Chain A
Amino acid sequence: MTSHQGRLSRDVVESLTLDTEPWLSCEECFDLMDSYAEAVVAGTEPRRRHDMEVHLRACPACFQEVESLVALLQQDSAD
């Protein structure tokens, strides 16, 4: 878990000022993450790539889950 203990550090300032347009909800991210992860692993262009990247920069939980799915697919590919 990340705790900045109430500090407005540089990382926090950067996160607070992120431009999160275009809007993509966590629910939409969940809907897209399977095809997105497959495209990342395959090295192809993901559907709604920009929207996903904006969201993943802004939402650590979604990033963590997409990152994990990519790793699992990579592991499957290697098996």
Chain B
Amino acid sequence: MSARGPEPVSVALAAGTTSGATTSDPDSSTTSISGRAGSLDRDWLGELTSSGAARETALRDLHVLLVKAARHQVARMRGLLPRLGAVEADELANAAADEALVHLLGRLSTFEGRARFTTWAYKFAILQTANEVRRRAWASTEIALSDHLDLAVEVDGPESRAEANELAHAVAAAMTEALTTYQRRIAIALLVEGVPVDVLAERLGTTRGALYKTLHVARSRIRAHLVAAGHLPAGIPFGGTA
């Protein structure tokens, strides 16, 4: 077994690494906005908390920015919704931008200025849109929480296969012995079946944060079990099977 270090995430992101994203220009049809909308020195907070025409203009411009981010996100995730037409895609983006605007305004007082306001705003639209695309992509898929694990391991070469099989069996044993039924089912749904965390949260009537916490605890228990059984060295910083 060999420890494998993590690829620095920031490097991967800066290099434009994508995860199934399309590379089309999603913003080619973005509605034109006032010249001040993207201005770095614009007092968004002041305008949005004011009244009258200044606030209305700020709201309109902000919505345009959110639609831009939502379209960007739809384009990146388009592969998940192959039957989505152009009109439906734009409707999805606009609806997500509407929702994002509501959420953003509700959290306006939490803006701390650690990033540009426009960047802070974009993330609301990206989150809302990503949630909606994933929800639609999984809408017709039944998700049954399962305890079943298939130990088939896909690796190259007999030595690698034996090693991988040994570790896979040890992980399966750890999941059986160290996890609660709920933790095991959540881990299988998220990591084995690949159900997106927000989709599973919606189906179970819980939150993304709560499921991630469950997964965090499950991973910790699996690792501790593997370390105790001698399958995993203790003290690997992160990112590692060993």
Interface residues of A (CB under 8 A from B): 1-10, 12-21, 23, 25-27, 30, 33-41, 43, 46-47, 49, 52-54, 56-61, 63-76
The 6 A-B residue pairs whose C-beta atoms are closest, nearest first, are: A2-B194, A34-B115, A19-B238, A53-B9, A35-B115, A35-B114
Interface of A is mostly: helix
Which one of A5, A15, A47 contacts B150 once the chains associate, using CB atoms below 8 Å?
Answer: A5
Query: Known contacts A7-B192, A40-B14: does B153 contact A16 (CB below 8 Å)?
Result: no
Q: Does B29 contact A (CB under 8 A)?
A: no
Interface of B is mostly: helix
Among residues of A, the one whose C-beta sits closest to the C-beta of B197 is A61
Query: Known contacts A1-B138, A16-B191, A40-B14: does B119 contact A10 (CB below 8 Å)?
Result: no
Encode contact with A along B108-132: 1 for CB under 8 Å, 0 otherwise. Answer: 0000001110011011001100100
Question: Complex: how many Å from CA A6 to CA B192?
Answer: 5
Residues of B within 8 A of A1 (CB): 80, 134, 137-138, 194, 196
Interface residues of B (CB under 8 A from A): 4, 6, 8-10, 13-14, 16-19, 21, 27, 38, 69, 72-73, 76-77, 80, 114-116, 119-120, 122-123, 126-127, 130, 134, 137-138, 146, 148-155, 164, 167-168, 171-172, 175, 187-188, 191-194, 196-198, 208-209, 212-213, 215-216, 218-220, 222-223, 226, 232, 236-241
Given contacts A54-B238, A61-B196, A68-B130, 7 further A-B contacts (CB under 8 A): A1-B134, A1-B194, A5-B150, A16-B218, A17-B232, A57-B6, A66-B13
Which one of B38, B167, B212 contacts A76 once the chains associate, using CB atoms below 8 Å?
Answer: B38
Among residues of B, the one whose C-beta sits closest to the C-beta of A44 is B10
Residues of A within 8 A of B212 (CB): 25-26, 58-59
Taking each of A21, A56, A68, A76, which has the highest tally of chain B beta carbons within 10 Å of its own beta carbon?
A68
Question: Complex: how many Å from CA A27 to CA B198?
Answer: 12
Query: Known contacts A9-B153, A21-B220, A43-B14: does B80 contact A65 (CB below 8 Å)?
Result: no
Question: Complex: how many Å from CA A74 to CA B212?
Answer: 29
Query: Known contacts A13-B164, A71-B21: does B123 contact A8 (CB below 8 Å)?
Result: no
Residues of B within 8 A of A10 (CB): 153-155, 164, 168
